[in-house]
């Protein structure tokens, strides 16, 4: 199952985004998340092949980067 759940809380609906990069640094997925408050969002990554990717979540001045592995 190539789905990733992202749980976040945001006061700014306009500035939430998710980008996913492969290990060569190419952006392979991008999504804007236009919700305020507490959110639990599921991303369908079935178009991506198996491998290791870097997920970047940004909301205003906050940025989180995590490694994800798709099988």
Read off the pLDDT of residues 37-50 as tens digits, 9 standing for 90 and up.
Answer: 888 999 999 999 99
Question: Torsion angle, CA of 7/13/14/16, rounded to 10 degrees?
Answer: -10
Nearest to 21 by CA among 46, 60, 56: 56
pLDDT at 20: 97
pLDDT at 8: 87
The domain 3-70 having CATH identifier 2.60.40.3080: the answer here is yes
Question: Listing from the earlier edge strand, what are the strands of the sheet with 16-21?
Answer: 27-32, 16-21, 51-59, 62-70
**Burial state string for 21-35 with b = 16 or more CB within 10 A and e = fewer than 16:** beeeeeebbeeebee
Domain ranges of the chain: 3-70
pLDDT at 34: 76
Worst-scoring range by mean pLDDT, 6-10, 11-15, 32-36, 53-57?
11-15
pLDDT at 66: 96
- Asked whether the beta carbons of 8 and 37 are under 8 A apart, the reply is no
pLDDT at 17 over 80: yes
């Amino acid at each position: 199952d190539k789905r990733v759940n992202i749980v976040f809380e945001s006061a700014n609906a306009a500035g939430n985004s998710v980008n996913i990069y492969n290990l060569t640094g190419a952006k392979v997925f991008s999504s804007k998340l236009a919700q305020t408050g507490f959110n639990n969002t599921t991303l369908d990554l079935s178009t991506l092949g198996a491998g290791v990717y870097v997920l970047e979540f940004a909301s205003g001045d906050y940025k989180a980067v995590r490694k994800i592995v798709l099988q």
